[in-house]
Structure 1
Amino acid sequence: MFDNKRLGRLKWACRRGMLELDVLFMPFVEHGFAELDDEKKLVFERLLTFDDPDLYAWFMGHLACHDDEIKAMIGHILSRVKV
Protein backbone atom coordinates (compact mmCIF):
# COMPACT_ATOMS: atom_id res chain seq x y z
CA MET A 1 0.00 0.00 0.00
CA PHE A 2 2.71 2.50 0.97
CA ASP A 3 5.39 1.96 -1.63
CA ASN A 4 8.69 3.84 -1.44
CA LYS A 5 7.40 6.75 -3.50
CA ARG A 6 4.30 7.24 -1.35
CA LEU A 7 6.32 6.83 1.84
CA GLY A 8 8.78 9.42 0.57
CA ARG A 9 5.93 11.89 -0.02
CA LEU A 10 4.62 11.15 3.45
CA LYS A 11 8.03 11.85 5.00
CA TRP A 12 8.25 15.09 3.06
CA ALA A 13 4.78 16.08 4.36
CA CYS A 14 6.07 15.55 7.91
CA ARG A 15 8.47 18.46 7.40
CA ARG A 16 6.29 21.29 8.65
CA GLY A 17 6.69 25.01 9.10
CA MET A 18 6.74 24.66 12.88
CA LEU A 19 9.60 23.05 14.77
CA GLU A 20 7.15 21.85 17.44
CA LEU A 21 5.38 19.72 14.83
CA ASP A 22 8.60 18.54 13.18
CA VAL A 23 9.84 17.06 16.45
CA LEU A 24 6.60 15.10 16.75
CA PHE A 25 6.11 13.93 13.17
CA MET A 26 9.63 13.14 11.98
CA PRO A 27 10.51 10.63 14.73
CA PHE A 28 7.05 9.09 14.50
CA VAL A 29 7.20 8.51 10.76
CA GLU A 30 10.72 7.08 11.10
CA HIS A 31 10.07 4.80 14.09
CA GLY A 32 6.34 4.34 14.60
CA PHE A 33 4.61 4.55 11.24
CA ALA A 34 5.57 1.04 10.10
CA GLU A 35 3.88 -0.44 13.19
CA LEU A 36 0.47 0.98 12.19
CA ASP A 37 -2.09 -1.11 10.34
CA ASP A 38 -3.16 0.09 6.90
CA GLU A 39 -6.24 1.91 8.21
CA LYS A 40 -4.21 3.85 10.77
CA LYS A 41 -1.58 4.70 8.15
CA LEU A 42 -4.32 6.35 6.11
CA VAL A 43 -5.46 8.28 9.18
CA PHE A 44 -1.90 9.53 9.74
CA GLU A 45 -1.66 10.53 6.09
CA ARG A 46 -4.94 12.44 6.45
CA LEU A 47 -3.68 14.09 9.65
CA LEU A 48 -0.86 15.65 7.65
CA THR A 49 -3.36 17.43 5.37
CA PHE A 50 -4.46 19.76 8.17
CA ASP A 51 -2.95 23.23 8.59
CA ASP A 52 -0.11 23.74 11.04
CA PRO A 53 -2.03 26.10 13.37
CA ASP A 54 -4.80 23.50 13.79
CA LEU A 55 -2.33 20.67 14.34
CA TYR A 56 -0.37 22.73 16.86
CA ALA A 57 -3.54 23.63 18.79
CA TRP A 58 -4.67 20.00 18.88
CA PHE A 59 -1.30 18.57 19.90
CA MET A 60 -0.76 21.21 22.59
CA GLY A 61 -4.30 20.76 23.93
CA HIS A 62 -5.39 24.32 23.19
CA LEU A 63 -8.31 23.14 21.04
CA ALA A 64 -10.20 19.88 20.83
CA CYS A 65 -10.17 17.95 17.57
CA HIS A 66 -13.68 16.83 16.68
CA ASP A 67 -12.61 14.03 14.32
CA ASP A 68 -12.40 10.86 16.40
CA GLU A 69 -9.87 9.12 14.13
CA ILE A 70 -7.57 12.13 14.07
CA LYS A 71 -7.98 12.62 17.81
CA ALA A 72 -6.98 9.00 18.41
CA MET A 73 -3.93 9.37 16.15
CA ILE A 74 -2.87 12.51 18.01
CA GLY A 75 -3.13 10.59 21.28
CA HIS A 76 -1.12 7.72 19.83
CA ILE A 77 1.66 10.02 18.62
CA LEU A 78 1.76 11.90 21.93
CA SER A 79 1.96 8.61 23.84
CA ARG A 80 5.19 7.82 21.98
CA VAL A 81 6.87 11.13 22.81
CA LYS A 82 9.72 10.78 25.26
CA VAL A 83 9.87 13.50 27.88
Structure 2
Amino acid sequence: MNEQSSQDAALRKRLYWHSRRGMWELDLLLVPFLERCYDGLGEEDQAAFRELIDEEDQDLFVWLMRREWPEEPRRRRIVQLIIEHAESADSLGHRPV
Protein backbone atom coordinates (compact mmCIF):
# COMPACT_ATOMS: atom_id res chain seq x y z
CA MET A 1 0.00 0.00 0.00
CA ASN A 2 1.48 3.36 -0.94
CA GLU A 3 1.50 6.41 1.29
CA GLN A 4 -1.47 8.10 -0.44
CA SER A 5 -3.70 5.05 -0.18
CA SER A 6 -2.71 4.71 3.49
CA GLN A 7 -3.72 8.32 4.07
CA ASP A 8 -6.99 7.78 2.19
CA ALA A 9 -7.74 4.68 4.27
CA ALA A 10 -7.03 6.55 7.50
CA LEU A 11 -9.26 9.44 6.44
CA ARG A 12 -12.05 7.06 5.50
CA LYS A 13 -11.81 5.30 8.86
CA ARG A 14 -11.91 8.64 10.69
CA LEU A 15 -14.93 9.77 8.67
CA TYR A 16 -16.73 6.51 9.39
CA TRP A 17 -16.19 6.74 13.14
CA HIS A 18 -17.11 10.42 13.25
CA SER A 19 -20.28 9.64 11.27
CA ARG A 20 -21.34 7.11 13.91
CA ARG A 21 -22.81 9.43 16.45
CA GLY A 22 -24.49 7.02 18.83
CA MET A 23 -27.78 8.69 18.03
CA TRP A 24 -29.83 6.28 15.93
CA GLU A 25 -31.45 8.95 13.74
CA LEU A 26 -28.10 10.50 12.83
CA ASP A 27 -26.38 7.15 12.26
CA LEU A 28 -29.12 6.13 9.80
CA LEU A 29 -28.46 9.23 7.72
CA LEU A 30 -24.73 9.87 7.96
CA VAL A 31 -23.22 6.38 7.67
CA PRO A 32 -25.13 5.28 4.53
CA PHE A 33 -24.42 8.65 2.91
CA LEU A 34 -20.72 8.24 3.64
CA GLU A 35 -20.67 4.68 2.33
CA ARG A 36 -22.73 5.25 -0.80
CA CYS A 37 -22.19 8.87 -1.81
CA TYR A 38 -19.06 10.42 -0.33
CA ASP A 39 -16.62 9.11 -2.94
CA GLY A 40 -18.76 10.52 -5.77
CA LEU A 41 -18.89 14.02 -4.31
CA GLY A 42 -16.77 16.87 -5.59
CA GLU A 43 -13.95 18.19 -3.41
CA GLU A 44 -16.08 21.09 -2.14
CA ASP A 45 -18.91 18.79 -1.02
CA GLN A 46 -16.49 16.30 0.53
CA ALA A 47 -14.94 19.13 2.54
CA ALA A 48 -18.43 20.27 3.59
CA PHE A 49 -19.23 16.73 4.80
CA ARG A 50 -15.98 16.55 6.78
CA GLU A 51 -16.82 19.89 8.40
CA LEU A 52 -20.43 18.86 9.04
CA ILE A 53 -19.52 15.79 11.07
CA ASP A 54 -17.47 17.98 13.40
CA GLU A 55 -20.68 19.76 14.45
CA GLU A 56 -22.51 19.05 17.69
CA ASP A 57 -25.08 16.25 17.67
CA GLN A 58 -27.87 18.66 18.64
CA ASP A 59 -27.19 20.85 15.60
CA LEU A 60 -26.95 17.86 13.27
CA PHE A 61 -30.21 16.48 14.61
CA VAL A 62 -32.09 19.75 14.09
CA TRP A 63 -30.75 20.11 10.54
CA LEU A 64 -31.11 16.51 9.42
CA MET A 65 -34.61 16.22 10.87
CA ARG A 66 -35.48 19.38 8.88
CA ARG A 67 -36.51 21.42 11.89
CA GLU A 68 -34.11 24.17 10.82
CA TRP A 69 -31.64 24.68 7.98
CA PRO A 70 -28.03 25.69 8.46
CA GLU A 71 -27.46 29.35 7.67
CA GLU A 72 -24.23 28.78 5.77
CA PRO A 73 -25.02 27.85 2.13
CA ARG A 74 -22.25 25.25 1.90
CA ARG A 75 -23.45 23.49 5.02
CA ARG A 76 -27.08 23.75 3.88
CA ARG A 77 -26.14 22.08 0.59
CA ILE A 78 -24.49 19.04 2.20
CA VAL A 79 -27.42 18.65 4.62
CA GLN A 80 -29.81 18.71 1.64
CA LEU A 81 -27.70 16.10 -0.19
CA ILE A 82 -27.80 13.80 2.84
CA ILE A 83 -31.57 14.19 3.20
CA GLU A 84 -32.14 13.63 -0.53
CA HIS A 85 -30.03 10.48 -0.42
CA ALA A 86 -32.03 9.13 2.53
CA GLU A 87 -35.33 9.90 0.80
CA SER A 88 -34.28 8.31 -2.47
CA ALA A 89 -32.91 5.21 -0.72
CA ASP A 90 -36.16 4.90 1.23
CA SER A 91 -38.31 5.29 -1.89
CA LEU A 92 -36.31 2.50 -3.55
CA GLY A 93 -36.88 0.24 -0.57
CA HIS A 94 -33.24 0.29 0.53
CA ARG A 95 -32.76 -0.07 4.19
CA PRO A 96 -29.93 1.72 5.94
CA VAL A 97 -26.69 -0.18 6.24
User: What is the RMSD computed on CA atoms of the aligned residues?
Assistant: 1.4
- For structure 2, list consecutive stretches of 5 or more residues without a partner in the other structure: 91-97
Letter in 1 for 2:62: A
Partner of 2:60: 55
Alignment match of 1:34 (pick from 39, 49, 60): 39
- Runs of 4 or more, structure 1, over 3 Å off, are none
TM-score if structure 1 supplies the norm length? Answer: 0.92
- Equivalenced residue count is 83
Alignment match of 1:16 (pick from 14, 21, 27): 21
Whole-Å separation in 2 of the counterparts to 1:16 and 1:42: 19
Output one character per residue of 1:26-59: Cα deviation in whole Å (capped at 9) or x when no partner.
1111111010011211110000011011110011
- For structure 1, list consecutive stretches of 5 or more residues without a partner in the other structure: none
Q: Give % identity.
A: 30
Alpha carbons 1:16, 1:52 under 8 Å: kept: yes
Whole-Å separation in 2 of the counterparts to 1:39 and 1:64: 19
TM-score if structure 2 supplies the norm length? Answer: 0.79
Alpha carbons 1:14, 1:48 under 8 Å: kept: yes
Letter in 2 for 1:35: G
Whole-Å separation in 1 of the counterparts to 2:8 and 2:45: 16
